[in-house]
């Protein structure tokens, strides 16, 4: 039972990290007014599908990746809002946004873990364990 719970935790965490990564691409594409046709987390058979205004949101059963399908990304499109008609700098930002959001997310998680971990290193000796070497050599608490 513990194995299944741990496996579920890993799958959920991996799916969440994929969501964060793909969300970076998605938000950058929307910011630069590139039409997103599909936002998917996971591969394989689709578990969940929802049609938004212009985007189809899907969740696949295998959470080892995801994708953001943009208009004009795979084939050339002359439509307004296609990826291939966006400025080169905008395309670079859209492609790099996934990794950038991962880095920002890691910094935020590290920041909160360091604040709330409760483990503070100090140079002040607050107590000495009776059997420890420090007690045997005579370190005193002030």
Which residues, including other chains, have CB under 8 Å from residue 77's CB and lie 6 or more apart? Answer: 71, 83, 84, 85
**Cβ burial, residue 79 (10 Å; 0-12/13-18/19+):** exposed
- Please report, to the nearest 10 degrees, the dihedral formed by the alpha carbons of residues 85, 81, 67, 39 taken in order: 180
Distance CA 24, CA 85 (A): 20
Let me know if 75 is a catalytic residue: no
Q: Which is catalytic among the residues 22, 73, 74, 140?
A: 22
Residues tagged active-site: 22
């Amino acid at each position: 039972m513990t194995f299944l719970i741990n496996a579920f935790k890993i799958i959920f965490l991996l799916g969440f990290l994929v969501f964060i990564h793909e969300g970076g691409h998605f938000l950058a594409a929307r910011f630069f007014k590139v039409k997103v046709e599909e936002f998917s987390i996971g591969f394989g058979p689709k578990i969940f599908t929802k049609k938004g205004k212009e985007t189809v949101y899907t969740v696949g059963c295998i959470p080892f990746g995801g994708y953001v399908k943009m208009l004009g990304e795979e084939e050339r499109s002359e439509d307004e809002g296609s990826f291939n008609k966006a400025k080169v700098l905008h395309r670079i930002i859209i492609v790099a946004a996934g990794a950038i959001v991962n880095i920002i997310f890691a910094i935020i998680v590290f920041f909160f873990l360091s604040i709330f971990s409760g483990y503070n290193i100090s140079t002040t000796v607050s107590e000495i364990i009776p059997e420890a070497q420090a007690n045997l050599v005579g370190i005193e608490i002030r």
